[in-house]
Amino acid sequence: MSELENPLENPCFGCGPRHARGLRLKFEETTSPDGTPEVRTRFVPQPDEIGWPTLFHHGLHFMVLYEASYWTALTLGRKLWISQGPSSYNALRLPRVGVAHVARGRIVATTPTRLEIRAESETESGKPCGVLASSWVPAGREVVERAGIPLPDYLRSELSP
C-alpha cells in the first residue's frame, strides 16, 4: 500500500488536505485480496456530518464513493479523467457516525476512451454500505481551456492534448 500524493493546494471539499470544512479524505493505492488493483480510503463519519440521528449524511456518503471513483480513475487510469456521471448508486445502509469505514474503487472495464469504475463502502468489519458505478472519459486540454476551468498546474500537466 502506498499513500497517494495530494498537493496541499488542492481545494476539493472531499479530499483537499487543508479544506476548512471538508472531509479531507486520504487515498492509497493497494491490491484487493483477489489481486485486483484498487484505490482505498478509510473514513470515520463525524457528529456534524449526520442526516438522520447517528447516520452519516446520504449526500456525504455519495461524495466519499464519488471521490474514491475519481482517485481510482486518476491513479489506475494513469491520467486525468472527467466523470460522465454516475451510472447507478445504491445505499445499502448508511455508515454510522463515529464508526470507521472503508471505501474502495476499482476499474471494471476500460477502453482507450472510457473507464467504468465501481466504488464500494463498507464497515471495517466488512458489512456493505453502498455502491457507486460511474463512467469516465479522458480530460482534453482544449475542452478544459474552452470551459475556462482554472486547474492547478499539477492537474494541467495531466491533460491529454
Per the rule left: phi > 0, alpha: psi between -120 and 50, beta: everything else, 37 is: beta
Per-residue pLDDT, 1: 66
Going by their DSSP bridges, the two strands 81-91 and 101-111 should be labelled as unpaired
Over residues 41-62, mean pLDDT: 95
- 107-146: per-residue pLDDT in tens? 999 998 999 999 999 999 999 999 999 999 988 777 777 7
Question: Domain coordinates of the chain in residue numbers?
Answer: 2-156
The CA distances from residue 58 to 31, 41, 45, 65, 97, in Å, are 28, 18, 11, 11, 12
Does the structure show a pLDDT above 80 at 148? no
CATH architecture of structural domain 2-156 = Roll (3.10)
Report the share of the chain in percent with pLDDT over 90: 70
Does the structure show a pLDDT above 90 at 147? no
Strands (E), the chain: 2-3, 28-31, 37-43, 81-91, 101-111, 114-123, 128-138
Per-residue pLDDT, 142: 78
Least confident of 71-80, 94-103, 142-151: 142-151
